Structure formats: structure tokens, C-alpha cells
Amino acid sequence: MRLQFVLSQIGNGLRRNVAMAVSVVLVTFISLTFVGAAVLLQMQISNMKDDWYDRVEVSVFLCPEGSSAPTCAGGEVTEEQIETLEGVLTSDGLSPYVEEVFVETKEQAYASFQEQFGDQDWAQRITEDQMQVSLRVSLVDPELYQVVADEITGRDGVEEVVDQRAILEPLFLVLNRATVLAVGLAAVMIVTAVLLITTTIRLSAMSRSRETSIMRLVGASNFFIQLPFMLEGAIAALLGAVLASAGLWLGVRSVIENWLAGSVRWVNFVSTSDVLVVAPLLVAIGIVLAAISSLVSLSRYTKV
């Protein structure tokens, strides 16, 4: 009997404030979609860092003929200097940081260049003698690039030391800023959702003040009086969270899995399984929103 009464009260409340209830669902849906998008963006950045940082190398470009670098005053790098630099990189002091050292000769550099740009007219004018000998250094931990760079920079025969991560950082910066923007919009929308849920519960409580007064007179507990209002907000927020999860799932499925993943195969994109991991978080946030809103409203409008 009590359960039936609570359910009837919830139905009456939602019917009386259907427009506000729909608004709560939509605002919660939008705000949690931004929250989910921010989480998925961070997951994507983490995937890319895990994949790409393990592959990036430190490129030690050695002195070509005619270089103006102070370390190249003696002219083009010699075989003796190359052996010395290899010895430094493979020494016991750098062994905890360096995984592998590979010498890329002019011939290998030219072959790689032609493979990438050989179909361009300007690339046909480049000769093998114009290529530059380099050392390709794979690191145990790419984050410790500076340790290796400090040890090798400034030595005779070294023109420049380049960390390939520098090429990726602008991309990660853009993605991180997009995450911050999504979080900012989500925060604004969450505040809006809390205010709207609070208003909805307040209007529902005010419209049923006579019923709640009668319930008090017959001895109903404060919790029993407040429960229908709490569940109204929780149902609306939960629907918003479910819609947000479904929207993210459909977006990832159609845009990423069915389009981007097939066109850009070298990126490990987030998938619908990641959305399923995020979905419980969105539902939990929706429930918390409803709980906060209920406490704010019911403490004033349905107190004994």
C-alpha cells in the first residue's frame, strides 16, 4: 500500500510539472554529455601517449658539411666521432635510460626520405649527399629525454638533438584545452541542472502542500513525505544520465568506430566499450545531482 501510494505521488508530481521535468532531463542530458566527452577525451589522450611515447625517438643529427654550429667547426662528422657518441649513449651511465641506439646513414636517410616524399617534384632534386647522418635513440622512459639530451648536446660532431615528442605536444595541448572547455561547460550546465531540479522539486512540494499537511496529521514520517519528491528528481536526473550515455555511445560508434578508425588506422581511438566504462560514472553524477537538489529543497518546503 505504501509503495503504491509513493508511486502514485510520483506520477502526480511528474504530470503536474511535466514541462519542468522534461527540462530537467534535457539539462542533465546536456551537462552529463559534456562530462562524458571530457572523460573520453582524457582517455583518448592517455591512449595516444601510451602508444606514441613508446615509439618516439631522440634524433641526434650529426654535423653535415658546411654546418655553422660551433660543434661542427671541424667539418662533417667523422667515423671516430660517431663511434665516440655511440659509446656515450651505450655507456653504463646512460644504460638505465637508453634502450637502443641506431645509426642512420646517408643512404638510409635518403631511402626514407624518398619513401615519404618521393612523389613530390621538389624531392627529386634532393641527392643522397645532401642527407644527414643521425643517431636514433630509443628511450626506456621517453619522459626522461632531458637526461640523454644533456649528456649528448654540445659534443663534437653533434649539430642538434631533437625530441620527437615536441612534434606531438601541440596536438596534446589542443586536446587538453578541448577537455578543459568541455569541463567548464559541463560545470556550468551541472549548476544549471541543480538549480532546475531544485526548482522542480520546490514547485512540486508547494503544489502538494495540502497533501503533505494531511500526511503529517495522520502520523506519516518526514522521510515518507519527502520520498516521492526525492524520487521525482532522481528519475529525471537518471533519465538524463541514460540519454547522455546513449548519446555518447552512438557518437563514438558512428563518428569514431565507423568513420575515423577506418580512415586513420595509426591512432588507437576510444571505443564504445570505453563509453560503457564511463556510463556508470554519469549515472552516479546524475544521482548525486538529484540528492543535492533534494536536500536543498526538501529541508525547507517539507520539514515538519
Report the distance separating Cα 170 and Cα 176, nearest Å: 10
pLDDT in tens, 116-168: 777 777 777 788 888 889 988 888 887 788 888 888 888 999 999 887 777 66
Q: Same domain, yes or no, for 131 and 183? A: no
Report the distance separating Cα 237 and Cα 25, nearest Å: 6
Q: Are the C-beta atoms of 58 and 145 separated by less than 8 Å? A: yes
The total number of structural domains that make up the chain: 2
Q: Same domain, yes or no, for 294 and 157? A: no
Please report which residue ranges of the chain form alpha helices under DSSP H: 2-16, 18-53, 79-89, 106-117, 145-152, 165-207, 209-217, 222-251, 261-263, 272-301
CA atoms within 13 A on the CB side of 169: 6
Q: Same domain, yes or no, for 89 and 204? A: no
Is pLDDT at 274 greater than 90 in this prediction?
yes
Q: Same domain, yes or no, for 201 and 280? A: yes
Q: Same domain, yes or no, for 176 and 41? A: yes
Once rounded to an integer, what is the mean pLDDT over residues 258-280?
A: 86
Q: How confident is the model at residue 304 (pLDDT cuts 50, 70, 90)?
A: very low
Q: Same domain, yes or no, for 30 and 87? A: no
Q: Same domain, yes or no, for 187 and 297? A: yes
- Its pTM stands at 0.65
pLDDT in tens, 39-89: 898 888 888 777 776 667 788 889 988 888 898 988 889 999 999 999 999
Burial (CB count <10 Å: 0-12, 13-18, 19+), residue 222: middle
Q: Are the C-beta atoms of 202 and 33 separated by less than 8 Å? A: no
Domain final position from 163, 192, 224: 163
Q: Same domain, yes or no, for 175 and 232? A: yes
Q: Same domain, yes or no, for 276 and 192? A: yes
CATH number of domain containing 120: 3.30.70.3040
Q: Same domain, yes or no, for 217 and 240? A: yes
**Greatest CA separation found in the chain?**
101
For 131, phi then psi, to 5°, come to: -75, 165
Q: Same domain, yes or no, for 41 and 69? A: no
CA dihedral of 269, 275, 276, 282, whole degrees rounded to 10: 150
pLDDT in tens, 224-266: 556 666 777 778 888 889 999 999 999 999 999 888 887 777 6
Q: Same domain, yes or no, for 62 and 138? A: yes
Which structural domain, as residue segments, surrounds residue 78?
A: 57-163
Domain final position from 113, 133, 163: 163
Domain final position from 131, 147, 163: 163
